[in-house]
């Protein structure tokens, strides 16, 4: 999730908890793009991603009343958890096939050749879930390792190690298929 020095998340959250809808608009403006990009990469269409994103912010508005601020990092993790739960509900309703932007996937450090994105998705499903999530955050969302570490609750160094391992395993899988 993005970090911006202009927005004091703590005070905005407290204003939201007091029922200030314009403060929630600040949170929405800060997080909307990141939440939407993430849901778009995990859903079958733009319309579905918009619906899921809308549901995420409705859930966030309801949940903020009981949320206890400890740090910006925890707040972003809280939003990410809501997003993941909404996506789980979406997956339970349908089994989507989503398209990936091929230009982003060409950024892989290793030469991994694939015929189409469905083939790449099948290979990725053979990876551990933590590696799948890391690769999606890195290549679908162009997030730096420091942000990935915050989202996955690991250090930046661990994110880099997992990245290296995930790409190596993905290359091995692609060569045996």
Whole-number Cα distances in Å, 67 to 9, 52, 121, 176: 13, 21, 35, 47
Run of H or E including 74: helix 72-93
Is residue 22 a part of any domain in this protein? yes
Q: Give the global pTM.
A: 0.52
Write out the chain's pLDDT in tens, 177 residues: 444 445 688 999 999 888 888 999 999 999 999 999 999 888 878 898 999 999 999 999 999 989 999 999 999 999 999 998 898 888 777 643 444 444 444 444 344 555 556 777 788 889 999 998 888 888 777 788 988 888 888 999 999 999 989 888 888 887 786
In whole angstroms, how large is the CA radius of gyration of the chain?
17
DSSP state of 115: S
Looking at 93, 119, 138, which one is the last position of a domain?
93
Residues 81 and 25 in one domain: yes
Q: What is the pLDDT of residue 98?
A: 41
Range of the domain at 50: 9-93
Q: What is the pLDDT of residue 6?
A: 55
Domain count, the chain: 2
Q: What is the pLDDT of residue 30?
A: 92
CATH classification of the domain holding 85: 1.10.1740.10
Residues 19 and 53 in one domain: yes
Q: What is the pLDDT of residue 83?
A: 93
Q: What is the pLDDT of residue 34?
A: 92
Place of tokens 């269409």: 45
Q: CB atoms < 10 A from the CB of 81, how many? A: 11
Q: What is the pLDDT of residue 112?
A: 54
Whole-number Cα distances in Å, 131 to 53, 151, 164: 24, 13, 10
Q: What is the pLDDT of residue 4?
A: 43
Residues 112 and 66 in one domain: no
Q: What is the pLDDT of residue 28?
A: 93
């Amino acid at each position: 999730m993005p970090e911006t020095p202009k927005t004091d998340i703590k005070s905005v959250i407290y204003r939201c908890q007091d029922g200030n809808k314009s403060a929630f608009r600040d949170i929405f403006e800060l997080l909307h793009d990141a939440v939407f990009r993430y849901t778009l990469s995990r859903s079958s269409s733009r319309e579905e991603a918009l619906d899921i994103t809308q549901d995420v912010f409705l859930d966030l508005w309801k949940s903020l009343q009981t949320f206890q601020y400890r740090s910006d990092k925890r707040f972003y993790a809280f939003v990410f958890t809501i997003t993941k739960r909404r996506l789980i509900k979406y997956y339970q309703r349908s089994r989507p096939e989503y398209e990936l932007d091929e230009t982003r996937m060409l950024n892989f450090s290793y030469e991994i050749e694939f015929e189409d994105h469905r083939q790449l998705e099948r290979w990725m499903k053979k990876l551990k879930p933590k590696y799948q999530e890391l690769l999606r955050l890195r290549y679908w969302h162009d997030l730096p390792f420091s942000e990935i570490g915050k989202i996955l609750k690991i250090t930046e160094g661990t994110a880099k190690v997992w990245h290296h391992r995930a790409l190596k395993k993905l290359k091995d899988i692609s060569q045996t298929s």
